[in-house]
Amino acid sequence: QYIDRGLSMLWDRLFRCGDSSMEIQVDEKAAGNRGLNELYRQVGVYVGSLRSALNTQARLKAYRWVDAAAISFSLHDNESIDDSFDGVHVSWTHSVMEKENGGNNPYCGDSAQRSFTLRFFKRDREIILPAYLDHVSKVSADIERKSSQRFLYTNNYGNWEEASFSHPSTFDSLALDSGMAERIKADLDAFSNGKTFYHRNGRAWKRGYLLYGPPGTGKSSLIAAIANYMQFDVYDLELTKVSDNAELKSLLIQTSAKSVIVVEDIDCSVKLSNRDEADEDSKEGRDSQQSSKLTLSGLLNFVDGLWSCCGEERIFIFTTNFKERIDPALLRPGRMDMHILLSYCTFHVFKKMANNYLGIQDHPKFLELQETMTKSSVQVTPAAIAEILIRNQDCPDVALSEVLAAFQTHVDNVDDENIPTKHVDPTVGDETASKVSHRKSKIPYLGRVMPFFCSKGKHQD
Ligand SMILES: Nc1ncnc2c1ncn2[C@@H]1O[C@H](COP(=O)(O)OP(=O)(O)OP(=O)(O)O)[C@@H](O)[C@H]1O
Ligand SMILES: [Mg+2]
Q: What residue owns the CA closest to ligand 1's atom 7? A: 218
Rounded Cα gap, residues 207 and 260, in angstroms: 10
> Is any atom of ligand 1 closer than 6 Å to the C-beta of 220?
yes
**CA 70 – ligand 2 centroid, Å:** 31
What is the pLDDT of the chain when averaged over all its residues?
80
Query: Which of 128-137, 169-178, 370-379, 442-451 is least confident?
Result: 442-451
Q: Is 193 helix (H, G, I), strand (E, B) or coil?
A: coil
> Is any atom of ligand 1 closer than 6 Å to the C-beta of 219?
yes
- Using an 8 Å Cβ cutoff, are 427 and 418 in contact? no
Whole-complex ipTM: 0.99
Residue among 210, 217, 323, 445 whose CB has most ligand 1 atoms within 8 A, to mutate: 217
Among the bound ligands, name the one nearest to the CA of residue 383.
1
Give 280's DSSP letter: H
> Is any atom of ligand 1 closer than 6 Å to the C-beta of 451?
no
Q: What residue owns the CA closest to ligand 1's atom 13? A: 383
**CA 221 – ligand 1 centroid, Å:** 6
**CA 359 – ligand 1 centroid, Å:** 19
Q: What residue owns the CA closest to ligand 1's atom 11? A: 383
How large is the greatest C-alpha to C-alpha distance in the chain, in angstroms?
Answer: 92
What values do phi and psi take at 40, rounded to 5? -60, -45
**Beta partners for residue 212, in sequence order:** 320, 341
Cis check: omega of the bond before 328, within 30 degrees of 0: no
Residue among 173, 211, 221, 323 whose CB has most ligand 1 atoms within 8 A, to mutate: 221
Question: What are the extents of the domains in the chain?
Answer: 2-147, 151-341, 347-455
> Is any atom of ligand 1 closer than 6 Å to the C-beta of 441?
no
The 10s digit of each residue's pLDDT in 359-402 is: 999 999 999 999 999 988 889 999 999 999 999 999 999 999 99
> Is any atom of ligand 1 closer than 6 Å to the C-beta of 216?
yes
> Which one is the CATH code of 151-341: 3.40.50.720, 1.10.357.10, 3.40.50.300, 3.40.50.1820?
3.40.50.300
The whole-number average pLDDT for the span 285-289 is: 47
**CA 217 – ligand 1 centroid, Å:** 5
**CA 215 – ligand 2 centroid, Å:** 7
Give kind and range of the element (H or E) at residue 334: none
- Higher-scoring residue by pLDDT: 460, 102: 102
Share of the chain above pLDDT 90, in %: 47
The 10s digit of each residue's pLDDT in 58-68 is: 788 888 766 66
- The CA-atom distances, in angstroms, between 5 and each of 12, 23, 111, 413 are 11, 11, 22, 86
- Using the predicted structure, report yes or no on whether residue 455 has a pLDDT greater than 60: no
Q: Among 93, 95, 81, 88, which Cα is nearest to 118's?
A: 93
